[in-house]
């Protein structure tokens, strides 16, 4: 708990009193370095999972082998042949990353197809507002009727702002509640699932 509470309290103390700026800067540097180490933990965990899968010849192990082969060749290129690494980064890695996110677009449309069967007033309000904002965002909406810009803009700037302001305040209160809980020793989520 000391490792959790002490840096947290010190950063807040320094912000409101101005005392100990150098130490607070050092803590921020700790955060930057530590986050890099933890960034690698995830990578190593996935690496270990797939190596074990190949070794034990578990279900779908050939795909894990492809994964490891891709990993090894890309990492090897990064250290041995930078131009090749850059080429693969721009022409294979980036397209594949975007393509895998491309499913979001397709499944959004199917979700809207099924979700737009209005069953009650709340769903009707949600769908109507969504349609108006779609026509606000798309330039063709303004070409069809300039009122979509006015109406969509009003929905975004007035009722939506009020709602999101409530959400932001709620989230902020949650952060403060976490702060108080950790001071009281009630917050243990940072210990993981142990």
Restricting to residues 137-176, name those near other proteins by CB under 8 A.
137-143, 149, 152, 154-173, 175-176
| 9 near other proteins, judged by CB under 8 A | yes
Smallest separation (angstroms) from other proteins to the CB of 90: 7
Smallest separation (angstroms) from other proteins to the CB of 193: 12
- What tokens appear for 38 in the block? 């933890």
- Is the distance from CB of 20 to CB of 13 less than 8 angstroms? yes
| 184 near other proteins, judged by CB under 8 A | no
- Is the distance from CB of 50 to CB of 67 less than 8 angstroms? yes
Q: Tell me how far apart the alpha carbons of residues 98 and 105 are, in angstroms, rounded to a whole number.
A: 11
Q: Tell me how far apart the alpha carbons of residues 192 and 190 are, in angstroms, rounded to a whole number.
A: 5
| 4 near other proteins, judged by CB under 8 A | yes
Q: Tell me how far apart the alpha carbons of residues 64 and 53 are, in angstroms, rounded to a whole number.
A: 7
Q: Which of residues 18-77 bind other proteins (CB under 8 A)?
A: 21, 24-48, 60, 63-64, 66-72, 74-75
Q: For residues 56 and 194, which CB has a smaller minimum distance to other proteins in the complex?
A: 194
- Is the distance from CB of 61 to CB of 54 less than 8 angstroms? yes
- Only one residue has tokens 């949650």, namely 174
Smallest separation (angstroms) from other proteins to the CB of 73: 8
Q: For residues 118 and 186, which CB has a smaller minimum distance to other proteins in the complex?
A: 118
Size of the site for other proteins (CB under 8 A): 134
Q: Which of residues 75-94 bind other proteins (CB under 8 A)?
A: 75, 78-79, 88-94
Whole-angstrom Cα Rg for the chain? 25
């Amino acid at each position: 708990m000391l490792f959790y509470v002490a840096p947290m309290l010190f950063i807040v103390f320094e912000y409101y009193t101005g005392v100990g700026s150098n130490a607070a800067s050092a803590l921020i540097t700790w955060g930057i370095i530590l986050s890099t180490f933890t960034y690698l933990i995830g990578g190593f965990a996935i690496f270990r999972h797939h190596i074990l899968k190949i070794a034990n010849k578990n279900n779908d192990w050939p795909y894990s082998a492809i994964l490891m082969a891709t990993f090894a060749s890309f990492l090897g290129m990064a250290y041995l042949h930078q131009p090749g690494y850059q080429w693969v980064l721009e022409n294979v890695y980036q397209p594949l990353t975007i393509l895998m996110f491309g499913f979001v677009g397709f499944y959004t449309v199917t979700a809207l197809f099924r979700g737009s069967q209005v069953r009650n007033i709340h769903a009707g309000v949600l769908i109507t507002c969504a349609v108006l904002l779609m026509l606000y965002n798309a330039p063709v909406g303004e070409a069809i009727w300039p009122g979509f810009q006015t109406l969509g803009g009003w929905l975004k700037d007035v009722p939506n702002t009020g709602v999101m302001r409530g959400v932001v305040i709620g989230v902020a209160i949650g952060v403060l509640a976490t702060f108080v809980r950790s001071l009281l020793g009630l917050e243990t989520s940072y210990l993981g699932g142990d």
